[in-house]
Chains A and B, each alone.
Chain A
Amino acid sequence: GESVGLHLPTLSVQEGDNSIINCAYSNSASDYFIWYKQESGKGPQFIIDIRSNMDKRQGQRVTVLLNKTVKHLSLQIAATQPGDSAVYFCAENMANGGSQGNLIFGKGTKLSVKP
């Protein structure tokens, strides 16, 4: 598979535990944020998004928290499973209205789930 995990921060968790992946974003004017999951050999896949008028959004087993005061985004994964092992990226959108043309990605965090 593709080696996208080199030199990345790594989070190692036990199967069944909750995972929290953090991301600091750069622009206080960003109004749309996305979390992506990238498995080895594949392109990034959408997990969950949140707009700046919210501070929390929940999906299936995932929750995204947004703290605009400190420009911080987190992804919480409940009951982490081996299939959650991947590199996780946050992305921010620098333009109003969610223009994908201006998505800026973080460097990524590698999540390893121990059985």
Chain B
Amino acid sequence: EAQVTQNPRYLITVTGKKLTVTCSQNMNHEYMSWYRQDPGLGLRQIYYSMNVEVTDKGDVPEGYKVSRKEKRNFPLILESPSPNQTSLYFCASSSPIQGRAFFGQGTRLTVV
């Protein structure tokens, strides 16, 4: 089954404690992205990657890092999480030919 898998689904952490949210896709897609979703603000892009070892900032990259060492994986790293990073996070992937993005189930992050 074609899918994008994020882990964990839910995470509560404390300010400053480094964390990583993993994302994996099994569709051999070149493009992958991370979004955060907040009430009233919709989906905002954090980072995206057009292929292995190629990453670019989206609209709200501050406080986040990503890496793309393999085509299937695109982890999101918060080196020093802060409460304003409490949000619902989505990973997505797509191919350049098809265009449409496939989304993971989301990760609810709470930073206290």
Interface pick from A62-70, A76-84, A101-109: A101-109
Number of interface residues of A (CB under 8 A): 31
Q: Are A100 and B41 in contact (CB under 8 A)?
A: no
Q: Does A3 contact B (CB under 8 A)?
A: yes
Once the chains bind, are A97 and B96 in contact (CB under 8 Å)? Answer: yes
> Within 8 Å of chain B (Cβ to Cβ): is A99?
yes
Number of A-B contacts (CB under 8 A): 81
Q: Is the interface of B mostly helix, strand, loop or mixed?
A: strand
- Chain B contributes a number of interface residues (CB within 8 A of A) equal to 33
Partner of A103 from B88, B96, B101, B104 at Cβ < 8 Å: B101
B85 at the interface (CB under 8 A from A): no
Bound-complex Cα distance A32 to B98 (A): 11
Q: Which 9 A-B pairs have the closest CB atoms?
A: A98-B99, A43-B103, A100-B94, A6-B39, A7-B40, A105-B43, A101-B48, A107-B42, A100-B31
Interface residues of B (CB under 8 A from A): 4, 31, 33, 35, 37, 39-45, 48-50, 56, 88, 90, 92-94, 96-106, 108
